[in-house]
Each structure stands twice: as structure tokens, then as C-alpha cells.
């Protein structure tokens, strides 16, 4: 019997469970790498939810950044109608959990920590929006260093709008490194296009989304 991807991993513990499946912490046997495995039963999904899952996979395959949850591989188990997604494991929970914990202890986060989180999140979003890392801190708003020649206008490029940015989707890895995740509601557009789809979590929506208005990145 052929070895499946699941056979290559040791299950360590169950992290959580949702309406579509289970999330487990696993260890890859050949090198000991710790990963997160999403076990999704797609027969429980509506057509729209399947399309969102497919869109998320398309985004994650081509999105590599230190502050974005890394995608490793997937396995389709036809017999059980399951899809296993292997993702980077973020062992320190998410920003939402941290905020709730601070509130319960009646404490505030250190300002230096807040700026560290903010800077990493901006770096991740810049990668999504512009397809490259942010300009050097010594450059100006256009990304030009002192005495640099003007940039040529860029051709239209694909950008990714997360569209559901909230503390619960900002995961924390080793050393509380920011890992932006959950791209299920994201949209890929060309840089000169506008997005007008009404999506997101109500409390975190921008005024444009709440008013069902078209929006751009600028």
C-alpha cells in the first residue's frame, strides 16, 4: 500500500475543531519540523465556501514572507472526501488571544512591543499589496534612496487584498513574530482595478466596505 502524506507525519495534539474539520499539531518524521495540519471535509461546504478555499490555496502557494503564515503542501483524500493542508505552526496563539489575556489581567502591552507588532504587520501587508518587500527605512515615501534615479512606472501587477484583517487573524510564532493568516476572504486584483465585494468581519470593516462603496488601495 502506497504511503500517504499523512503517514509521513506524527500527530502531536489537536489544536482546534470547526464546522469543516479539525486542526492538528503534527511533526514531520523525516526532519522533525512542527507544522499545523488542517483536515477539511469539503462535503460539508457550500459551493461558495469551496470557492473561497480554492482561492485561499491559490494565494498561499505564491505568497512567501517571514510575516505571513507559510503554506507547505496539501493532500486530497478521495475516499474520505478530506483535504489536508500543511501550514506553518504558530505556537503563541493569535493577537486576539493576547489582547483578551491582557484585558483579563488589567494590563497594557509595552509600547515597544506594539510598534514591533505593527511594523511586522505593515511589512506583511506591503508584500500582499505590492508583491515585494517594503522600501528600506532610509528611503523616501516612493522607495527611493537619496540621489537615486526616478523609478519607471510599474506595469499593472497582481495584488492581494486580505479583507478580513483582525486580531484573530494575526498569529504569533516563535518570539511573538507576526504571522498574517486566514486568507479565505482575500481577493487577487490587478493594481489598476477596484474591488467592490462586500466581505469581512463587521466590527473590523472599513467605512467603504460598510457603505458598500468601491475602494482602491490609495
Query: Is 95-210 in the same CATH topology as 5-88?
Result: no
User: Which sign does the torsion angle of CA 37, 39, 45, 47 carry?
Assistant: positive
pLDDT at position 148 is: 45
pLDDT at position 106 is: 97
Q: Which CATH architecture has domain 5-88?
A: 2-Layer Sandwich (3.30)
**H/E run at residue 120:** helix 111-130
Residue 151: pLDDT over 60: no
Name which of 21-30, 47-56, 168-177, 195-204 the model is least confident about. 195-204
Pair 145, 139: CB distance under 8 Å: yes
CA dist., res. 212 & res. 197, Å (int): 8
Q: How many residues does the chain have?
A: 218
Q: Which of 82, 133, 136, 164 is an active site residue? A: 164
pLDDT at position 61 is: 83
**H/E run at residue 178:** strand 178-180
Residue 119: pLDDT over 90: yes
CA separation, residue 98 to residues 66, 93, 107, 169 (Å): 20, 8, 11, 12
- What is the percentage of the chain residues whose pLDDT exceeds 70? 71
To the query of whether residue 110 is one of the catalytic residues in this protein, the response is no
pLDDT at position 213 is: 59
Per-residue buried b or exposed e for 111-123, using 16+ beta carbons within 10 Å of the residue's own CB: eeeeebbeebbeb
Residue range 107-117: average pLDDT?
95
- Secondary structure of residue 40 in the 3-state scheme: strand
Cell output for 137 = 527605512
Pair 83, 42: CB distance under 8 Å: yes
Pair 166, 185: CB distance under 8 Å: no
Domain boundaries, the chain: 5-88, 95-210
Residue 32: pLDDT over 80: yes
pLDDT digits over 163-196, tens only?
A: 788 899 899 999 889 999 887 655 555 544 444 4
pLDDT at position 199 is: 42
* Average of per-residue pLDDT values in the chain: 78
pTM over 0.85: no
Residue located via cell numbers 500582499: 128
Q: Which CATH architecture has domain 95-210?
A: Orthogonal Bundle (1.10)
Task: Tell me the chain's radius of gyration from C-alpha atoms.
Answer: 19
**H/E run at residue 50:** helix 47-61
Amino acid at each position: 500500500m502506497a504511503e500517504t502524506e499523512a503517514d509521513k507525519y506524527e500527530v502531536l495534539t489537536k489544536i482546534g475543531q470547526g464546522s469543516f474539520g479539525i486542526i492538528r499539531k503534527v511533526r514531520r518524521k523525516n526532519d522533525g519540523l512542527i507544522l499545523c495540519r488542517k483536515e477539511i471535509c469539503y462535503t460539508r461546504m457550500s459551493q461558495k465556501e469551496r470557492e473561497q478555499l480554492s482561492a485561499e490555496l491559490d494565494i498561499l502557494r505564491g505568497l512567501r514572507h517571514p510575516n505571513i503564515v507559510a503554506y507547505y503542501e496539501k493532500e486530497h483524500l478521495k475516499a474520505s472526501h478530506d483535504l489536508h493542508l500543511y501550514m506553518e505552526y504558530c505556537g503563541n496563539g493569535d493577537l486576539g488571544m493576547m489582547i483578551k489575556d491582557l484585558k483579563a489581567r488589567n494590563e497594557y502591552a509595552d509600547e515597544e512591543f506594539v510598534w514591533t507588532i505593527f511594523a511586522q504587520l505593515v511589512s506583511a501587508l506591503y508584500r500582499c499589496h505590492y508583491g515585494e518587500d517594503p522600501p528600506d527605512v532610509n528611503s523616501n515615501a516612493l522607495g527611493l534612496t537619496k540621489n537615486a534615479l526616478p523609478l519607471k512606472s510599474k506595469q499593472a501587477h497582481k495584488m492581494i487584498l486580505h479583507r478580513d484583517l483582525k486580531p484573530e487573524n494575526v498569529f504569533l510564532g516563535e518570539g511573538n513574530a507576526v504571522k498574517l493568516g486566514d486568507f479565505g476572504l482575500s481577493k487577487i486584483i490587478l493594481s489598476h482595478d477596484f474591488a467592490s465585494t462586500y466581505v469581512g468581519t463587521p466590527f473590523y470593516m472599513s467605512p467603504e466596505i460598510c457603505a458598500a462603496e468601491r475602494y482602491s488601495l490609495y
